[in-house]
Structure 1
Amino acid sequence: MRPDPRTGLNDAELLSYNTVRIMAESADESVSVGTGFVYEFRSSKQLPILALVTNRHVIDNAQTVKLVFHQGKNNKVDFEAEKLAFIITQFQEGVYKHPNPNIDLAFIPLGNIFTKFTQNGGMPFVSVFTRKNLPKDEEWKELTALEQVVIVGYPDGIWDSVNNLPILKRGVTATHPKVDFQGQPKFLIDAAIYPGSSGSPVFLYEWKEVMLGQDLNLGKDKPRLAGILSSVYLHRQKGVMESVPIPTKRNEVPIMDVPNNLGVVIKSTELDGFIPLIDERIEKDRETQKQQ
């Protein structure tokens, strides 16, 4: 598996440096954990907006949020440097929420956060995914009903706290990813889903070993951001099956509810729904600057 010449990381390792553990504290001082991933939006005029994407329900009631980033040096991870922690207060003021209330997505702009890091001598390192990392139209059409996926996040709040690294888990699609599940831009995956997984990016990624004559060709598909994990089906003793947001607090999960390993994934194409909000915010900022 060849490493990226710029970062020194291979494709699988880049997935580990794309997510950020979100610790959200609400007004009652309860703390919940979720997953965010770094994504660069482009406005309709191609202005880049670096953002941390997660589920809306992860941060809806948050008053403060703590994020921890890696430090970088010469475009590579600086493993020896201290991690960069940032606490956001008055949190709700800068959050973008998806305009469709049925799409459980939101994002936190990272531009000002990274600027403050650099002003204080820090250099955050993240692997950034863009629209180019989503499946192309022809790739969506070629997908089968059973595809291997990788879920990156912090299930049950578990992570490598020393190295600030997430947990990578494998699963498979449980419904056809190119078909809208129940008429919504979503699909199901078969994987163990636990609290802390909310907002986890779901990648189509399969390592392939192919024999070509006498040689072993280590080929692979590039990771494609297929969607964002948002909820999980629970089986309750009453015999009722329902989809609920993945809990972010371990103490909120009733012990009588049994996850049946079916997660609901919002298709990554829904990220484009933020673009009108981004355009509107950019225009407002320009008007404000003119008045100053």
Structure 2
Amino acid sequence: MFDLQTPPVPMQEPPVAALSAPAWDLTVGLIAATVQLDQRNGEEATRRVGTGFLIDAPRPDGQPRTVLVTAHHVLNGMTAPDARIGWRVEAPGGGWRFAPEPLRIRDEAGDPVWTRHPVRDIAVMEVSAPPAFARAAIPLGWLADANALDAWQVGPGDELLTLGYPRGYSSNTAGFPILRVGRVASWPLTPIETFPVFLLDFPVFPGNSGGPVFWTPSARKLPGTVQPEHPFIAGVLVSEVRPGDEPLGIGIVAHAAWVREAIALLDAPAGP
């Protein structure tokens, strides 16, 4: 589907086990935390589809909390009170089945129950996730902060991975997302206040919006640049470059620092 200032949260060290895990394990971790979001278009036999991913973002008092992250326009385009979130259940013997459940996205008055970043196309909301998904949620510290891309010398030509459901397709009947790869296609990337989004060279389709754009050792970096210390989410796919009706095969990514700001709003005092 296509379509505040808060104190920075420092990048956190990953668990020791993550540092020693093979690259495909770390990529599979992001796959496990990514889900399909969809809603039927009224009485039509069509549906609106987007992508979301889960972040482990404890409350200020330390209580656990699972937060769903997606693009704001994904949820905003779903006008009914309930969407569906595509949980997956592992069956005995190693099989999986798709087990979507209703997700309340609007209250009785029809107002959104998610929180939107005040200026960016980012939406977050606390969800009650099955235990396996709560465990799969990505640590908050793996969201790149405003300085991470500079620190790790991420720039034009570097590969980043992304997950999503292009045109509503999944990688199998169990509902796992499709993994894609693209190269950073713009410069400069920072400061993010001046360059709030960056470009990724890969074809974007309806259903990709809201998916994580991330780095693990499965992605290549240009020779001579710094190897990041651990996987990180660089941003959220929010749109594509489309002059008129002609797609250019280039995605638009909002920096992950905006996700951090949106999650911080979940704990902000309610207005008068």
Q: TM-score range by the shorter chain?
A: 0.7 to 0.9
Identity of aligned residues (%): 22
- For 2:193 and 2:142, how far apart are their aligned partners in 1? 26
Change beyond 3 A, Cα 1:99–1:169:
closer
Compute the TM-score of the two structures, normalised by the length of structure 2: 0.73
AA at the equivalent of 2:153: L
Return 5+ residue gaps in structure 2 as ranges.
Answer: 1-16, 221-226
Change beyond 3 A, Cα 1:126–1:79:
farther
In the alignment of these two chains, the number of paired residues is 237
AA at the equivalent of 1:140: D
Structure with the higher helix share, 1 or 2: 1
AA at the equivalent of 1:97: T
Cα drift, residue 60 of structure 1: 0.8
* Pairing partner for 1:95 from 113, 117, 125: 113
Aligned to 2:140: 131
Aligned to 1:151: 162
Cα drift, residue 58 of structure 1: 0.6
Aligned to 1:248: none
Cα drift, residue 190 of structure 1: 1.1
Structure with the higher strand share, 1 or 2: 1
- Per the alignment, in what secondary structure is the counterpart of residue 27 of structure 2? helix
- For 2:135 and 2:171, how far apart are their aligned partners in 1? 16
Aligned to 1:19: 34
Cα drift, residue 143 of structure 1: 1.7
Change beyond 3 A, Cα 1:208–1:95:
closer
Change beyond 3 A, Cα 1:28–1:170:
same
Cα drift, residue 20 of structure 1: 0.3
Aligned to 2:197: 186
Return 5+ residue gaps in structure 1 as ranges.
Answer: 210-218, 237-256, 285-292
User: Are 2:258 and 1:270 equivalent residues in the alignment?
Assistant: yes
Cα drift, residue 107 of structure 1: 2.2
- Per the alignment, in what secondary structure is the counterpart of residue 259 of structure 1? coil
What do the CA deviations read for 1:246-291 (whole angstroms, capped 9, x no partner)? Answer: xxxxxxxxxxx1211221111101122224432247x89xxxxxxx
- For 2:97 and 2:148, how far apart are their aligned partners in 1? 43
Aligned to 2:50: 34
Give 1:30-69 correspondences, 5 Å limit.
Answer: 31-62=47-78, 63=80, 64-69=82-87
Higher relative contact order (CA 8 A, sep 6+): 2
Root-mean-square deviation over aligned CA pairs: 3.3
Change beyond 3 A, Cα 1:274–1:71:
same
Compute the TM-score of the two structures, normalised by the length of structure 1: 0.69
- For 2:152 and 2:229, how far apart are their aligned partners in 1? 13
Contact 1:36 1:200 in 2 (8 A): yes
